[in-house]
Amino acid sequence: AYNLIQGNKLATEKAKAIDAPITALFEGPMVALTQIMGATRVLSDLRTNPEVVQKGLEKTTEYCKEMAKMMFEEAQPDNLCLVTLWTNNIILGADEYMKTEGKVMQNVFAPLYKEYNKPMVVHNCADAPHWDLISKWNTQYYSYTFYPEQVNKGSKDHKYLIENYGKDVMFGGEVSPIAFMDNSPENISKIRNDTIALQESVLNTLKENGMQSKYVIATGCEVPPRGPCDTVTAQSYTVAETGPELYKKIMG
C-alpha cells in the first residue's frame, strides 16, 4: 500500500509539472478478495457459504476504503479509478452483485468520493456489465471494454452507451489493447485509420443525441506487458492531430 501511494504521489507531481491530468487506479474490494483467495473459490462460496465471503469482503472493503483516503489525501491525483470486474451478468446477476460489492459501492465508496469532492470513476473490462447499476453509485466516468463477438451476451459499444447513459456518464474504452502489440508500419497505419473512424463515429453519435462531448478515446483495458510505446503514441497523436478538425467538421 505504501509503495502504491508513494508511486502515485510521485507520478502526480510529475504530471502536474507538465500540466497533465492524472488518474490513479486501484482494485475494488471484490477484485481484491478474488485476487487473495482465488476467483473460483470466492464465486463458489458465494453460492454455498455466502457468510464467509461477506466477512472477507468486509475486510477488503475496509482496506480499500483506507487506501482511497490515502490516495485522496497523500497522492492527490486528479481522479481515482476503482476496478470492479465482477459486475458482470455472465458471472453474477445484478441482484447477487448488489448483495456483495454493489452495496459497498453504493454505501461506502459513493459517499467517500462525494466527501472528497471527487467524481466516481470506475473501470470494468467485463464482457456483460450491469449497465443499469451504474447510476446507483453516481458514476461520472466509466471505463469499459467492447467485445464484438460477445454482443449477444450483453457487450455494448459507444453508440448504445452514449444513447442510453451518455447524458449522465462519460464513457471511455472500446479500443482493444491487443491492437497495440504489433508495431509494424502496416499496423500503425491501421491504428491511425481505426482511431479516425472511431472518432467520427463517436462524434456523430454524440451529435445525434444532442451532446457535444463526454467520451474518451481509450483502450478498454491495459496494454499487455512489453507492448511497444510507438503504437500507443500513434493513437494518442492521431487523436491530438485530427480531433479538433473532426470536431469542427461534424459538430459545426
Q: Indicate whether 243 belongs to any domain.
A: no
Query: Does a structural domain hold residue 75?
Result: yes
Q: Is 203 inside a domain boundary?
A: no
pLDDT in tens, 145-163: 999 999 999 999 999 999 9
* CATH number for position 119: 3.20.20.210
Alpha-carbon distances of 66 from 55, 63, 146, 168, 226, rounded to whole Å = 17, 5, 32, 28, 32
What pLDDT score does 97 carry?
Answer: 92
Q: What is the pLDDT of residue 1?
A: 84
**What's the number of domains the chain is made of?**
1
- pLDDT for res 144: 95
Query: Which residues is 139 bridged to in the sheet?
Result: 120
What is the reported pLDDT for 55?
A: 97
Q: Give the model's pLDDT for residue 88.
A: 87
Does residue 18 lie within any of the structural domains? yes
Instruction: Tell me, yes or no, whether 57 lies in a domain.
Output: yes
pLDDT < 50 stretches in the chain? none
| Nearest alpha carbon to residue 162 among 179, 178, 180, 146 | 146
User: Does some domain include residue 193?
Assistant: no
Give the structural domain span for 113: 2-156
The model carries a pTM of 0.92
| Residue 198 resides in a domain | no
- Does residue 176 form part of some domain? no
